[in-house]
Structure 1
Amino acid sequence: MTQTLPGRIPPVFNSPDKIQLARLSYVHASHPDLDTFSTFALDFGFVIESKDADNLYLRGYGRDKCCYVATRSQDGEKHFHGAAYLAKTESDFRKTCQLPGASPVSENPPACGGGSRVTLSSPSGTVMHVVWGAEERPAPVKPESSTEIHKGGFNTALQKTRKGEFQRFKLGPAMVHKLGHYGYITTMFDEDVAFYTQNFNFVPSDVLYETDESSGTETDALTFMHLDQGAEYSDHHTLFLNRAPPGFDTSVRNRMHHCSFEVEDFDTQLLGHEYLLTRGYTPIWGVGRHIYGSQIFDYWRDPSGFAIEHYADGDLVNAENPTGREKSDGPASMYIWGPVRPAGGVAS
């Protein structure tokens, strides 16, 4: 499928000939001070799966043995090295290996479950890994928590499910369940969208567009994309792409925006938020509620300068949900309640 209108995402549908990805697994970034980042990571709610002198493998309590690979920077600067997805079948992995520009097959890090990995780049140069054969952790049967002393049912105005028992909590890290999504700003928005949607089962859940007031021309500025699993529900977005705005440094083809990790619920998130405040960290934005995806959010700047988000209560979609398309209202499009978004945004 080709772009029929410049600046507009054409209708996107999944098909059997596309490479089917099962889910997002982990992100990879390098940090100038790995030890300082490690302290922040524990306060944020990660668990250290393993580490060595130059690598830190962080996990949540979900199925992935690792959801964040942090390495020591070799040049004193922070760098985002992309994200890894799990192929649905070995055949899908083999098809990925045949794509133009695919790397030779290499070993997926053992701390990330092992198996085989192939690496690709989008037109703007963002890195994408596809993995097959990774070992998983047992599926969790209950959330891990550092904040609950006793948690009963939720009493609403008309339904009282918790009777004679008390909610009791303490401050602590908001324990991470899994990597939910990440995104980046790109100077090659149309080409990058085509790369993901034509080769893989990425389908836009929502698209925001901007209108040139003089010509009336509509240009798609932001898309939230999910991995289409047919009738099975998946997260509203696994990846989002933001068209580079006017004034963006075009010598840099892309810029990492943020990565986001799921926590159990509103209480967990707020307790973790307060805990990070007591540890001396300053939030970028939040707590609030997004519109597209509906997540309750709070954003932080890690010690290296990357933006990182907790979220809870996100939307799920399947093949029955059509792509939404709405005009952007600037920062107001990003949240329905919460503190005013900072003027500089939250991008890394």
Structure 2
Amino acid sequence: MLQITPGRIPLPVVNTPEKIQLNRLSHVYHAHPDLDAFHAFAKDFGFVEASRNKDTVYYRGYGKDMCAYVATKSNDGERHFNGIAFIAQTEEDFIKTSKLEGASPISPYTGPGGGKIVTVQSPSGTKVHVLWGIEERPAPEKAVTATEIHKGAYNTALDKFRKGEFQRFKIGPAMIHKLGHVGYVTGMFDEDVAFYTQVFNFVPSDVLWEERDGQEIDALTFMHLDHGKEYTDHHAVFLSRAPPNFEGKHRMHHSSFEVEDFDTQFMGHEYLLQKSYTPIWGVGRHVLGSQIFDYWKDPSGFAIEHYADGDLVNVDNPTGRFKSEGAASMYIWGPVRPEAGVA
């Protein structure tokens, strides 16, 4: 049974061997009404098509994951968020996932890299896919870029590392390295937080709270995968508490993909503008997580983000807890945040 604390995340959250250990985030699933329109956007956004199977297209970055994004054709003409995929730390962890209440039978994974897959659901109904035995791509020796002509070291005011060497770039897609994080709005915030932190090795990196009806209520949490002393991304999943008038159980917020650096990101941003895609917010820099960000609306209306220069944390970083200051909590510089946010 999940131990639920309404309104507040019990801190500190500690990882234990009994929890199912996840190694990393792998890919995200979306269904699109117009798969061809999304495919054109995906290439311009910086994805590489890895494989295709009937009405499913698998996209990758240049990192070790065989897949970072799975796009399927919608069966009902509506867009759908179909869950998040993780790689288990061990086969034992994978098997433990298959024994959770409501877990699907273990089945072959039909995407690139093979292996096996099992699917469970969070209390709000969000699908969590866990994989094992999937083949990996060779670890990249350098970043893949479509925007770089020549890039040397970065010169600062006092340290001049690049001498007699010129920075040269061109407009082009910001090539994706990997899926960095996925976030969604949930009408069962407390239950979903308990699911991720009690069943799996998720630990909140930062929590934002707000005052509702005279009480401190946790409104948003950024959660990382705890690997002890090993540093991992500041968040692989974030959850946002749904407002009181929320309809349904959950709603996709955005998925976010890592690119090499600020120049890559900004060149990709300009490229998407030239292609007449719809920007939502950015370029700017977040406060929590520190990422340089830009958000876009894909042809189906999903929000999708490029990011660079994100924070890393480990077991020595205590969970931060901060009062939400609205937009001021979200970014330190950048254009004014749109009132609707990025959802």
TM interval, short-chain normalised = over 0.9
1:180 paired residue number: 180
Question: What per-residue deviation string (whole Å, max 9, x for no partner) do you get for residues 191-212 of structure 1?
Answer: 0000111000000000000113
The whole-number CA distance in structure 2 between the counterparts of 1:329 and 1:246 is 19
2:68 paired residue number: 67
Does residue 286 of structure 1 match 2:282? yes
What is the deviation of 1:282? 2.0
What is the deviation of 1:2? 2.6
Question: What per-residue deviation string (whole Å, max 9, x for no partner) do you get for residues 250-275 of structure 1?
Answer: xx100000000000000000000000
- Among 237, 240, 255, the alignment partner of 1:242 is 240
Identity of aligned residues (%): 70
2:327 paired residue number: 331
What is the deviation of 1:50? 1.2
Partner SS, residue 287 of structure 1:
strand
One-letter code of the match for 1:77?
E
What is the deviation of 1:52? 3.6
Does residue 230 of structure 1 match 2:231? no
2:165 paired residue number: 165
**Structure 2 unaligned blocks of 5 or more:** none
2:9 paired residue number: 9
The whole-number CA distance in structure 2 between the counterparts of 1:330 and 1:220 is 13
What is the deviation of 1:107? 1.2
Q: How does 1:98-113 map to 2 (within 5 A)?
A: 98-111=99-112, 113=113
1:149 paired residue number: 149
Question: What per-residue deviation string (whole Å, max 9, x for no partner) do you get for residues 115-146 of structure 1?
Answer: 01100000000000000100000001100000
What is the deviation of 1:246? 2.8
1:86 paired residue number: 87
The whole-number CA distance in structure 2 between the counterparts of 1:110 and 1:179 is 16
1:197 paired residue number: 197
1:276 paired residue number: 272
One-letter code of the match for 2:200?
F
TM-score (norm 2): 0.98
2:24 paired residue number: 23
One-letter code of the match for 1:189?
F
The whole-number CA distance in structure 1 between the counterparts of 2:3 and 2:125 is 20
The whole-number CA distance in structure 2 between the counterparts of 1:123 and 1:137 is 33
Partner SS, residue 276 of structure 2:
coil
The whole-number CA distance in structure 2 between the counterparts of 1:119 and 1:126 is 10
The whole-number CA distance in structure 1 between the counterparts of 2:6 and 2:197 is 16
- Among 308, 314, 319, the alignment partner of 1:318 is 314
Partner SS, residue 231 of structure 1:
coil
One-letter code of the match for 2:116?
S
The whole-number CA distance in structure 2 between the counterparts of 1:344 and 1:192 is 23
Equivalenced residues, count: 341
2:216 paired residue number: 218
1:121 paired residue number: 121
The whole-number CA distance in structure 2 between the counterparts of 1:301 and 1:85 is 24
One-letter code of the match for 1:291?
V
Question: What per-residue deviation string (whole Å, max 9, x for no partner) do you get for residues 123-177 of structure 1?
Answer: 0000000001000000011000001010000000000000001000000000000
What is the deviation of 1:248? 1.8
The whole-number CA distance in structure 2 between the counterparts of 1:42 and 1:225 is 29
Q: Residue 58 of structure 2 contacts residue 111 of structure 2 at CA under 8 Å; is this kept in 1? A: no
The whole-number CA distance in structure 2 between the counterparts of 1:242 and 1:54 is 31
Partner SS, residue 333 of structure 2:
coil
What is the deviation of 1:97? 0.9
Partner SS, residue 100 of structure 2:
coil
1:254 paired residue number: 250
The whole-number CA distance in structure 1 between the counterparts of 2:126 and 2:176 is 25
Question: What per-residue deviation string (whole Å, max 9, x for no partner) do you get for residues 277-320 of structure 1?
Answer: 01111200000000010000000000000000000000000000
What is the deviation of 1:108? 1.3
The whole-number CA distance in structure 2 between the counterparts of 1:50 and 1:158 is 47
Partner SS, residue 191 of structure 1:
helix
1:39 paired residue number: 40
One-letter code of the match for 1:221?
A
1:295 paired residue number: 291
For residues 2 and 53 of structure 1, do their structure 2 counterparts lie closer, same or farther at Cα, with a shift above 3 Å needed? Answer: closer
- Runs of at least 4 residues of structure 1 off by over 6 A? none
One-letter code of the match for 1:110?
G
What is the deviation of 1:69? 0.5
Q: Residue 25 of structure 2 contacts residue 180 of structure 2 at CA under 8 Å; is this kept in 1? A: yes
